[in-house]
């Protein structure tokens, strides 16, 4: 078992508070830190863990699970009937085909590989399709197997050093595209294989932009693995920024954008740590870099742009668990200026999290409906959105419960 793996809660049945303490300690989090993120007192956490306070409401259980990054509610509650994975969505129908392509290297293939330039053109079309399609996972999942196999063959068959580096660059980008499909899928090891292979291929390509993109995604993979991986996320981020820093004075838009995206990721991780000043300092640096980009520029992988900075501000506020600041930033940001449908839906989900933190469940559900309209597959696979919808589907307010239940049916959480 890896050091940050969730222990088996059924090996030694225990009370809710004991499970909560065990999971908190596994994440390397103090009672004071957990209390601050939950908006409670350290005394409240201590009483809950020691059993002096009864198990909390369903709403509070969800908040604790989100804060501790618990994958399955049963791990926290000890109830097999509450086995629900908060941060992993249902397996996509195209997952098996993508997994087969990732796991097969075409070692015995006699097929002639397309040129790196040809594969790169197909990747550009794939990114464009991802940003414009409401069912973006379906579109990307259909394209990925062929792109992965052809990029692997291109590396294998490249003869000249320049051709080999170009092939490595397209292979790295294909694996980067794969990570967008694999996020929230029930195969975390496959996501890690894609992330690590992307970075290896990027380093072989010797292309700073390609390395930056792979580092951006690897940073996210580490951060989303739990608090014990935050240092690793920061290390990858720092190394990539150090590589790009000497190039920024004369950098083109893509290199400048990936450097800005990495600055924001550093702020994102700081926000997860609860480091308010550091998080906003990184966000401010990223905003300054975005201001150097053309007004209509939009990075095809990270979505970094002038338009995205408002959405990033909402994310920082939400991760700092500041409901009022989240709502303030949500009011200042404009989702309709984000050209990517899945990224626009993601922003709506972050806005909904802010309303939820601020005690505005009606606004949260309304905003999640906007996320669904932008990109149904984004909300269907997002753990935070699923948590809010399920919680409000049990609301005592009839109208709110009905609206949440209708959305839960649409995203596949409840039967029609």
E-assigned strand segments in 155-246: none
Best CA proximity match to 356, nearest among 48, 44, 72, 62: 62
Do the beta carbons of residue 292 and residue 286 sit within 8 Å? no
Q: What is the enclosing helix (H) or strand (E) of 86? A: none
The reported pLDDT for the residue numbered 139 is: 95
Do the beta carbons of residue 185 and residue 191 sit within 8 Å? yes
Do the beta carbons of residue 329 and residue 317 sit within 8 Å? yes
Q: 350 Cβ partners below 8 Å, 6+ apart?
A: 311, 314, 315, 318, 330
Best CA proximity match to 70, nearest among 277, 226, 221, 304: 226
Which residues does the chain have with pLDDT short of 70? 1-14, 59, 71-72, 79-90, 108, 415-416
Q: Which residues face 72 on adjacent strands?
A: 85
Residue matched to tokens 């029930």:
186
CA 402, CA 409: separation in Å to the nearest integer?
11
Q: In the structure encoding, which two tokens stand for residue 211, read together?
A: 């390395």
Residue matched to tokens 């640096």:
285
Q: In the structure encoding, which two tokens stand for residue 186, read together?
A: 């029930």
Q: Which residues face 51 on adjacent strands?
A: none
Residue matched to tokens 């209708």:
406
Best CA proximity match to 63, nearest among 80, 79, 40: 40
Model-wide pTM > 0.85: no
The reported pLDDT for the residue numbered 130 is: 95
The reported pLDDT for the residue numbered 51 is: 84
Residue matched to tokens 């087969």:
100
E-assigned strand segments in 290-361: none
The reported pLDDT for the residue numbered 196 is: 96
The reported pLDDT for the residue numbered 7 is: 41
């Amino acid at each position: 078992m890896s050091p940050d793996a969730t222990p088996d809660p059924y090996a030694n049945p225990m009370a809710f508070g004991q499970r909560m303490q065990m999971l908190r300690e596994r994440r390397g989090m103090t009672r004071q830190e957990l209390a601050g993120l939950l908006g409670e007192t350290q005394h409240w956490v201590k009483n809950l863990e020691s059993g002096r306070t009864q198990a909390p409401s369903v709403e509070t259980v969800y908040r604790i699970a989100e804060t501790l990054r618990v994958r399955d509610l049963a791990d926290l509650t000890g109830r097999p009937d509450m086995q629900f994975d908060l941060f992993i969505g249902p397996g996509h129908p195209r997952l098996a085909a993508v997994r087969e392509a990732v796991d097969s290297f075409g070692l015995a293939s006699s097929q002639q590989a397309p040129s790196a330039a040809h594969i790169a053109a197909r990747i550009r079309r794939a990114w464009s399709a991802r940003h414009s399609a409401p069912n973006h996972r379906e579109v990307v999942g259909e394209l990925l197997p062929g792109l992965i196999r052809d990029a692997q063959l291109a590396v294998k068959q490249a003869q000249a050093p320049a051709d080999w580096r170009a092939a490595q660059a397209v292979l790295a980008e294909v694996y980067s595209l794969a990570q967008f499909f694999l996020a929230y899928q029930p195969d975390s090891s496959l996501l890690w294989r894609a992330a690590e292979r992307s970075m290896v291929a990027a380093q072989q390509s010797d292309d700073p932009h390609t390395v930056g993109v792979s580092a951006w995604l690897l940073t996210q993979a580490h951060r989303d693995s739990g608090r014990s991986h935050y240092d690793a996320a920061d290390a990858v981020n720092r190394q990539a920024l150090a590589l790009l820093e000497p190039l920024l004075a004369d950098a083109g838009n893509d290199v400048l954008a990936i450097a800005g995206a990495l600055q924001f990721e550093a702020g994102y991780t700081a926000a997860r740590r609860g480091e308010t000043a550091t998080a906003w300092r990184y966000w401010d640096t990223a905003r300054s870099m975005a201001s150097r980009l053309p007004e209509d520029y939009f990075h095809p992988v990270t979505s970094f742009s002038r338009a995205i900075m408002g959405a990033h501000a909402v994310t920082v506020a939400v991760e700092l668990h500041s409901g009022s600041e989240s709502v303030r930033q949500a009011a200042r940001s404009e989702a309709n200026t984000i050209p990517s449908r899945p990224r626009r839906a993601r922003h709506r989900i972050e806005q909904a999290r802010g309303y939820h933190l601020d005690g505005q469940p009606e606004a949260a559900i309304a905003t999640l409906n906007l996320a669904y309209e932008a990109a149904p597959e984004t909300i269907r696979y997002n753990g935070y959105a699923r948590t809010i919808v399920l919680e409000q589907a049990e609301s005592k307010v009839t109208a709110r419960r009905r609206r949440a239940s209708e959305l839960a049916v649409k995203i596949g959480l409840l039967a029609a």
